[in-house]
Structure 1
């Protein structure tokens, strides 16, 4: 479906019936500078329709926000729309009949023809019905390197993981933190996943996370991943910050050499006025295995029992995937668009790298798409222990990890 047909389909859907103006409370956990600039694009677009975006930002990470969001929906105090990661997080809410079926919106806009990769829409689909609107592709598979930190240390900016590890001593000698890492569980767990893909490779990652192969999780190839994670733990030992964007700021200001973080970090560099390739370098797949994980964010719409409100919810769903909104939001968020039919020639160098990898088909599913919330939580708990306790050996952590994978559903 081309750009004009897609736009026309969205307008046709919204014009199908008169929709009364509504105040829509939207919950999300986008509160950093770059995230706030991006979500403001959604709010501006909705307000232009005559509806009103009532911002329900929840400070902290998704790990903080998700229990609050789910508790409100289950407890009978649902918001009108909410961010979640498309994947398995909403399974129980869908099974309980608490989320709005938006299949008619998806069909009117031709989402099956325009959303790329198709796994994004598949993750919103249960028993043939679509329950969420994907809004971006967020990939964890990046390391961000500070040019200032490396200039001060007198060594070249690394081009891959091995060069980066080798540069740690020079960074420390210059008073720099080799690896910026916040103290939240999802950050250490996410960084571990990136190291897993870079050092162990995509095939090993799929065996463990998709096939739930406990033998592979406990094997020799995975042992190399845990040794690399132990090296990363040592490099992050003096990174005494809590939030991910505080860690990003250490890189932006040249206090740290690098951060392993998803592409949402780009929004922080952008707000700080930094330029990719001049002030910082981005290495997809740690410069080793250049892949994009195709997880990201989606919006779900809790049932309200009010036809007018539900019509407004569907109008918002259509708007979030519309071409102009997709461009405006993702350029500020640092994420890739879910549409394969829009022009992003104004994207920065890092986003263009991501688009090239996506176009080449070098993709893998995200952990949110293949692991249950319970399994993900167990891995996060393990990573908290491992990253915070230098005496926790790589071998012991791997043994526990293999046990978790063996019991995964």
Structure 2
């Protein structure tokens, strides 16, 4: 009798266990987070999702978003969709949504009260098309940072700069010490991003918006943006001996003191962290290049292609909820170097640079970035131009500005 009762109890327990994980399944998630810091951060998302009884199947695609996005889009449009995929929240998935290939997450967002916890509001606005929410923003990434090697400046015998102008003035001393003043990798998006950051820092917020939001081609061809091109000319001269391709290789030059600095988004922080470097001691960060402490509310988000499999569709909902769980938000963003999208999480463990970002965010000194303001076609044209500009020192600033204004004139 006891054996029968034990067997019955075991069967009942098994049934309850199966009921609790009835929808547990593998879910492939594609992304382009492959550097050391990025891999550490994405591991936190995978761990949180696996804890739900489902299984994160990692679909990392080596290279930048420019390399990964066409592959992701091709799979979705070709009938081989993944369970979820990373994009930058903004206009990158616009055509997929319009084609009816992406899942509407409005019900999940309503149940989880995303509108009450996601900040700033523009993050969810960037996920919204036709009044429906199609993505889960997971972080606030800002491009507007200058990362400086304290070791490099000590070796060159000059103080660590407090702004872009001081940095440019220190370049000759860095070169004399055998240090590359500015590290800019060979990927086109790095050059274009650096120019956008210079526009914000040197030109100012109003100038940035006139060009990228208002698409004012006359202004883009005028004297205010000529100042930005002058700064970009200084940047390319400082960067001419970088000789690396990937952004994290350029970051490593700063980490090891081979380069004085790098204009790069706050995701660079993850690389410093993996290397065991301490903000404020080993390296210095200048939001807005020390000239305009404003950050963009851009970043990463996950989109969910429509799936026929009911279990995987349920797992998509679980993943969407997990990505915005407070504990997941803290664990992920501390590793990624980005800011959380929830305004109700504890970030006492934040380092010096993250605290600077949080302070700027709290003051409301935020702006939409080019991913949200310009189409992917326009972005690609800019990347082509600035890749050439940084690679070819004989491309004059006047000619480059003329070509840039022509791009803005046709921008959408």
Task: Please state which band the TM-score falls in when normalised by the shorter chain.
Answer: over 0.9
Q: Deviations over 1:266-296 (max 9, x none)?
A: 0000000000000000000000000111100
Give 1:285's aligned residue: 288
Q: Which runs of 4+ in 1 moved over 3 A?
A: none
Residue 366, structure 1, aligned to residue 369, structure 2: yes
Instruction: Trace 1:303-318 onto structure 2 (pairs within 5 A).
Output: 303-318=306-321
Deviation at 1:18, TM superposition (A): 6.8
In structure 1, stretches of 5+ residues that fail to align are 1-16
Normalising to structure 1: TM-score of the pair? 0.95
Q: 1:181 aligns with which of 181, 184, 189?
A: 184
Give 2:229's aligned residue: 226
Deviation at 1:109, TM superposition (A): 1.1
Give 1:399's aligned residue: 402
Give the conservation status (yes or no) of the 8 Å contact 1:19–1:311.
no
Residue 106, structure 1, aligned to residue 101, structure 2: no
Residue 208, structure 1, aligned to residue 215, structure 2: no
Give the conservation status (yes or no) of the 8 Å contact 2:188–2:387.
yes
Q: 1:335 aligns with which of 316, 338, 341?
A: 338
Deviation at 1:309, TM superposition (A): 1.4
CA–CA distance in structure 2, aligned partners of residues 280 and 72 of structure 1: 41
Instruction: Trace 1:3-402 onto structure 2 (pairs within 5 A).
Output: 19-402=22-405
Larger Rg computed on CA atoms:
2
Normalising to structure 2: TM-score of the pair? 0.95
Change (3 A) 1:59 1:229: same
CA–CA distance in structure 2, aligned partners of residues 266 and 274 of structure 1: 9
SS of the residue corresponding to residue 308 of structure 2 reads coil
Give the conservation status (yes or no) of the 8 Å contact 2:69–2:87.
yes
Deviation at 1:305, TM superposition (A): 1.5
Deviation at 1:77, TM superposition (A): 0.6
CA–CA distance in structure 1, aligned partners of residues 216 and 349 of structure 2: 42
CA–CA distance in structure 1, aligned partners of residues 384 and 258 of structure 2: 28
Cα RMSD, aligned residues only? 1.0
Change (3 A) 1:126 1:18: farther
In structure 2, stretches of 5+ residues that fail to align are 1-19
Give the conservation status (yes or no) of the 8 Å contact 2:86–2:301.
yes
